[in-house]
Structure 1
Amino acid sequence: MAERMLKFVGTPQAMPDKRPAAERRRDFDEIYQSYAQQKAAEQASRCSQCGVPFCQIHCPLHNNIPDWLKLTAEGRLDEAYELSSATNNFPEICGRICPQDRLCEGNCVIEKGFESVTIGSVEKYITDTAWQRGWVKPIQPRRERTECVGIVGAGPAGLAAAEQLRRKGYQVAIYDRYDRVGGLLIYGIPNFKLEKEIVQRREKLLRDSKVTFHLNCEVGRDVKLEELRARHGAVLIATGVYKARDIAAPGVGLAGIAPALDYLTASNRQGLGDTVPDFESGLLNAAGKDVVVIGGGDTAMDCVRTAVRQGAKSVKCLYRRDRANMPGSQREVKHAEEEGVEFVWLAAPQAFLGKDKVSHVRTVRIHLGMPDASGRQTPQEIPNSHVNIEADLVLMALGFDPEDLPAAMGAPDLGVTGWNTLKIDWKSMMTSLDGVFAAGDIVRGASLVVWAVRDGRDAAERIHTYLAGKALAAQRIAAE
């Protein structure tokens, strides 16, 4: 191991080549090139193989990172892929969109002084290579089971659960109200972070694995939850959260003010070749406009970087805290700054000005006061510090809340928490309805894709325990 690993002292960190900002501003292609095999092995060899791998501990999936880094360094990529995919259903997706600077790489032992191992880029390289070489195969269970599981939602939690259940031989049907598989992976994340072909080949893999999809099918409108319960041995609700948070301020109803997800969905649909009237009319198109994005999370970063690529006249990101306290990835902020985005830190919107259409955002400067119960410093307005910022298009990236699922699904007995997320028994992951489980953002609130994958995998195990228990009970009754 000493020959192959522990090379962080003499080998510097090297990310894959990044396209120049001036070039990448003109298209929606991914900004990083792929590693060459030799470079991937070199960067993997920087791993210190520490006894307590903080990268693995701080990964929601607890991926076996040091092990597959070692295998990559030794050129054993087929084994590295097998190990990587053993704990993660979508390693090539997580390698692209996970905020590694906040998770695995941010907790790398060698980060202080030597810069972290480029875990995400190596993870992406391993699985992209596996696809190229034909190592990724459709699922062929050892034996087929008769029980069928219905999954509501074709996002990362639902897809991860479907794959795990198919591996155990269950019949799986996925219902989604949209016309494509992937949820936010397709409509919420821009191509420069995750090209759609990456998601679509996962969809094809699941279809080839005999997972059935019912698209343009909204539970509550096209089929009742009770029908799904009667049709399937168990049901998993993995709808995610899509209700945009709003802001109470004068002028918020003016034309030219839109939720971030509406804007990103229009851009992604247009890129997929759909006819998008709101994009073609200019309503959700940033071309030639002064754009202001309100928020500091990853969705805000997706919006500002999309606006740059659409040819916006100017792009500003307004955030009420400072850079050190923003929830989004610092790496994304750096990319956005390189591409010409201006960040207005410690500023909050007070009103939106304009007659028939927004023309300015009235802002106030912010001072960070004492920490609140969560430990974060409380934003406090500075008197007489108002500034008006020109804006033709304002995008609200303030986060997402759950929809009222009991009402939407016609299931009043479906229990919810005070935050309107679905209430589950965390040991069984079952809701208040027998045989109905829930996972992902609809349970934990808006979170990361990697957490949705983790929840989907956990839910699949709990559903297996539930159905296996029912089958055993039926056998006992039959034997008596």
Structure 2
Amino acid sequence: MPERMQQFVRIPKEMPEKRDAAARRFDFDEIYRDFDPSKAREQSSRCSQCGVPFCQIHCPLSNNIPDWLKLTAEGRLEEAYEVCSSTNNFPEICGRICPQDRLCEGNCVIEKSFDSVTIGAVERFITDNAFEQGWVKSPAPRRERPQSVGIIGAGPAGLAAAEQLRRQGYQVHVYDRNDRVGGLMMYGIPGFKLEKHVVLRRWKLLEEGGIVFHLNTAIGRDIGFAALRARHDAVLIATGVYKAHDIGGPGAGLAGIVPALDYLTTSNRHGLGDAVPEFTSGMLDAKDKDVVVIGGGDTAMDCVRTAVRQGAVSVKCLYRRDRANMPGSMREVKNAEEEGVEFVWLSAPEAFLGEDHVTGVRAVRMHLGLPDASGRQSVEPIEASHFTVQAGLVIKALGFDPEDLPAAFGEPALAVSRRGTLKTDHRSFMTSLPGVFACGDIVRGASLVVWAIRDGRDAAQQMHAFVQQTTAAAVAAE
């Protein structure tokens, strides 16, 4: 029904209702309310149904966005979910945490003149409605295969690969050192962006589909890597990257200066009801403290907004570039500002003050220079522009590096790049070890959940081809 589409000329963009900042500062519930079904249909009808859908082109998963927008506008919600989930294992998660302003919505054809379609909110609506209606099913293979695969890491890449391989009928075993699945979706991303029941709901479905999870299991400690390879016909490494970038300078070793992931994990575990001594002692609790977060990415936004909810006296974000050059989502910056976060742009820390515990950050003003090798403007300090920011807790949100997996796994033949990421064949996803594959952040470096899902799906396809070729060769040799 084409008359139901292309309504952007008369219907303005409208997001789901956002909870008032004064209220949401005191809890970790998601800040956007559920889309009213009539509003979701109305907003979907704004899609221009363009011949070259840039929203789809700029989606790492190549989601069929115009198709499920049209189906939603027509009220055909079960079909919309089928299309939505055909390219994405976790659309309910991507609809919540993807930086749509940099991906699909940021490249919407009507964006410049009429504001983009609210793609992420509709994606969330479609899948949440599908769960309510019972349309979301566990992965059920048409036939069982005798071959098994082992997946190291229960984050988005590992889970996406696990579901794809289970649908093919493989016996899938997922190993993770944590006590819950989800990786950063569970322990890194705060509840105000992704409530944990959303991840737990998907975990339950995967278990019901026959995927076996081995939690609290670290490869190289609880089970040897060689033993794991012997146990399975193929192995996928999808561990992600967790080693924090550090920052030096005088006073960098003072108490009260902590990595972002330690801080976020502690907060999320506390929210899940775990006993977390670092939180109860106050060491990783921002309550009644002046908090300074260093960094400008999405992790920094998670930290500043968490500190607000923990009852910090003040929260400041120091970033060495300006707002326009910030790598994080502009939507998240706006949410943080609404909640009382102060951004100190064009500022970089030089030293940390205090005797036994940090009391302040000495910073210097920066100015933007010419573009560097990456294409971004370089930053240079302004002479005699030093200033001090009071701080009782400093959180370093400067990005992540890979851990030394060859050492952790006791497998020196596992080749790594200069950055420490695993080397793989870009077509087959296979590492330097036969039958061992890798994908996600441990290969590409710290990136988005949506890219991890894409990598997991692609790696699963290559693992399937490898196992079938290996099996066929073994049969022919008999």
TM-score range, shorter chain: over 0.9
Residues 44-443 of structure 1: matches in 2 within 5 Å?
Answer: 44-443=44-443
Q: Which amino acid aligns with 1:469?
A: Q
**What's the offset of the Cα at 1:474?**
1.9
* Deviations 1:249-281 (CA, angstroms, capped at 9, x unpaired): 110100110000000000000000011111111
- For the residue of structure 1 that corresponds to 2:292, the secondary structure is strand
1:454 aligned partner: 454
- How far does the alpha carbon of each residue in 1:136-175 deviate from its partner, in whole angstroms, 9 at most, with x for none? 1122211100000000000000000000000100010000
Q: For 2:348, what is the secondary structure of its paired residue?
A: strand
Deviation of 1:248 after TM superposition, in Å, equals: 1.4
1 CA distance for matches of 2:165 and 2:283? Answer: 42
Classify the secondary structure of the residue corresponding to 2:262: helix
Cα root mean square deviation, aligned? 0.5
- CA distance in structure 1 between the aligned counterparts of 2:297 and 2:50, rounded to whole angstroms: 32
Per the alignment, residue 2 of structure 2 pairs with: 2
Deviations 1:214-266 (A, max 9, x none): 11100011111111110000000000000000011110100110000000000
Shift in Å at residue 347 of structure 1? 0.1
**Aligned residue type for 1:125:** F
What letter is aligned with 2:258? A
* CA–CA separation in structure 1 for the residues paired with 2:249 and 2:445: 25
CA distance in 2, matches of 1:203, 1:2: 38
What's the CA shift for 1:397?
0.1
CA distance in 2, matches of 1:401, 1:139: 33
Name the CA distance, whole Å, in 2 between partners of 1:414 and 1:355.
43
Letter in 2 for 1:398: L
Work out the percentage of aligned pairs sharing the same amino acid.
Answer: 72
- What's the offset of the Cα at 1:381? 0.5
Q: Work out the CA distance in 2 between the residues paired with 1:175 and 1:153.
A: 6
- Post-superposition Cα deviations, 1:117-153, rounded to whole Å, max 9, x if no partner, equal 0000000000000000000112221110000000000
Letter of the 1:239 partner, please give it.
Answer: T
Match of 2:368, SS?
strand
* 1:71-121 deviations in Å (ceiling 9; x for gaps): 000000000000000000000000000000000000000000100000000
Give the Cα–Cα distance (whole angstroms) in 2 for the partners of residues 331 and 272 of structure 1.
26
Paired with 2:58 and 2:73, the residues of 1 have a C-alpha distance of 22
CA distance in 2 between counterparts of 1:330 and 1:138 reads: 35
Letter in 1 for 2:369: G
The CA deviation at 1:473 is 1.2
- In the alignment of these two chains, the number of paired residues is 478
Question: What CA distance in whole angstroms lies between the structure 1 residues aligned with 2:45 and 2:281?
Answer: 52
Could you tell me how far 1:475 is from its partner in structure 2? 2.3
- Secondary structure of 1:350's counterpart equals strand
* 1: CA distance, partners of 2:224 / 2:350: 43
Whole-Å separation in 2 of the counterparts to 1:6 and 1:234: 48
Q: C-alpha distance in 1, partners of 2:374/2:188?
A: 28
Q: Distance in 1 between matches of 2:274 and 2:141?
A: 37
Q: Which runs of 5+ in 2 are unaligned?
A: none
Amino acid at match of 2:200: Q
* AA of the residue aligned to 1:291: V
In structure 1, how many angstroms separate the alpha carbons of the residues matched to 2:317 and 2:343? Answer: 5
Aligned-partner Cα distance in 2 for 1:477–1:273: 55
TM-score normalized by structure 2? 1.00
Paired with 2:248 and 2:16, the residues of 1 have a C-alpha distance of 43
Q: 2: CA distance between counterparts of 1:243 and 1:209? A: 33
Q: Distance in 2 between matches of 1:437 and 1:137?
A: 28
SS in 2 for 1:362: strand
Residue identity opposite 2:402 in structure 1:
P
Structure 1 residue 294, shift from structure 2 partner: 0.1
Q: Which amino acid in structure 1 is aligned with residue 441 of structure 2?
A: D
Separation of aligned partners in 1, 2:477 and 2:414: 30
Residue identity matched to 2:397: A
Give yes or no for the alignment of 1:31 onto 2:31.
yes
What is the deviation of 1:36?
Answer: 1.2
2:451 partner amino acid:
W
Distance 1:140 1:119 in 2: 29
Question: How much has 1:3 moved relative to structure 2?
Answer: 1.2
One-letter code of the match for 1:227?
A
Q: Give the whole-Å Cα distance in 2 for the aligned partners of 1:381 and 1:223.
A: 49
Superposition deviation, residue 477 in structure 1: 1.9
CA-CA distance at 1:2 after TM superposition: 3.0
Cα deviations by residue, 1:402-437 (Å, 9 ceiling, x for unpaired): 000000010000000010000000111000000000
CA separation in 2, counterparts of 1:94 and 1:364? 37
Structure 1 spans left out of the alignment, 5+ residues:
none
Could you list the per-position Cα deviations for residues 174-227 of structure 1 after superposition, in whole angstroms to 9, with x for gaps in the alignment? 000111111000000000000000000110001000100011100011111111
The residue identity in structure 2 corresponding to 1:123 is: E
Q: Which amino acid aligns with 1:11?
A: I
What are the superposed Cα offsets for residues 263-314 of structure 1, whole Å, 9 maximum, x if unpaired? Answer: 0000000000011111111100000100000000000000000000000000
State the TM-score, normalized to the length of structure 1.
0.99
Deviations 1:43-94 (A, max 9, x none): 0000000000000000000000000000000000000000000000000000
221-230 or 91-100: bigger deviation: 221-230
Distance 2:167 2:128 in 1: 22
Moved over 2 A (4+): none
Q: CA–CA distance in 2 between the matches of 1:466 and 1:452?
A: 21
